[in-house]
């Protein structure tokens, strides 16, 4: 199965709203509160207008139809220092099938190619083994640990910083 990254459209938002409060997604990011649909819509409207952010839908190419199965976002796109933070969500039900790894590889191709960025980085909660493995498989290196940086699941947890340079 192959995947593509395509511009994030309103129909993808409808899908995303259906996954946003799943435990796998909330835990992966350390979200504290469930989000309402209108909060998610407002957030995506702000992101759409912010030129330092890029959001892309991950779609599976299954023959004639495309199925949206995730979301990749570039945050804080810095054109002077040529770097950006990357975040990803793969839909519950589509996880652990290699889609996240393929999506990060495609996102890096775009970042280091057409976007001419030099460095990509990510913040990963220390218990998020899937995310750590995914970034390491895509050539990201562990660069440091932010001690007890996030409050998640009733306690402070460390956040690992990952980076990859072109």
Ligand X SMILES: CC(C)(COP(=O)(O)OP(=O)(O)OC[C@H]1O[C@@H](n2cnc3c(N)ncnc32)[C@H](O)[C@@H]1OP(=O)(O)O)[C@@H](O)C(=O)NCCC(=O)NCCS
Span of 77-85, 106-114, 122-130, 153-161 interacting with ligand X by CB under 6 A: 122-130
Closest to ligand X by CB, 55 vs 101, is: 101
Select from 84, 90, 28, 29 the least CA-distant residue to 59: 90
Buried b (16+ CB within 10 A) or exposed e, 112-146: beebebebbbbbbbbebeebbebbeebebeeeeee
Span of 40-48, 77-85, 92-100, 150-158 interacting with ligand X by CB under 6 A: 92-100
Work out whether 89 is an interface residue with ligand X (CB under 6 A): yes
Binding residue for ligand X, selected from 75, 101, 152, 164, defined by CB under 6 A: 101
Beta strands in the chain (DSSP E): 2-7, 54-62, 65-78, 83-90, 119-125, 141-152, 155-165
Binding residue for ligand X, selected from 5, 13, 25, 57, defined by CB under 6 A: 25
Shortest Å distance, C-beta 80 to ligand X = 25
Which positions lie near ligand X, rule CB under 6 A? Answer: 24-25, 28-29, 88-90, 95-101, 122, 124, 128-131, 133-134, 137
């Amino acid at each position: 199965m192959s995947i593509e990254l395509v511009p994030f459209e309103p129909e993808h938002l409808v899908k995303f709203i259906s996954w946003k409060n799943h435990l796998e997604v909330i835990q992966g990011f350390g979200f504290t509160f469930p989000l309402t649909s209108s909060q998610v819509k407002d957030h995506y409207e702000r992101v759409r207008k912010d030129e330092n952010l890029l959001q892309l839908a991950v779609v599976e190419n299954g023959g004639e139809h495309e199925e949206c199965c995730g979301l990749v976002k570039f945050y804080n796109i810095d054109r002077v220092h040529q770097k950006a933070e990357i975040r990803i969500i793969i839909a519950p039900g589509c996880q652990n099938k290699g889609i996240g790894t393929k999506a990060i590889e495609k996102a890096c191709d775009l970042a280091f190619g057409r976007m001419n960025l030099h460095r990509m980085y990510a913040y990963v909660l220390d218990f998020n083994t899937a995310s750590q493995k995914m970034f390491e498989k895509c050539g990201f290196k562990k660069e440091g640990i932010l001690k007890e940086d996030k409050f998640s699941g009733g306690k402070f947890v460390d956040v690992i910083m990952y980076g990859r340079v072109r």
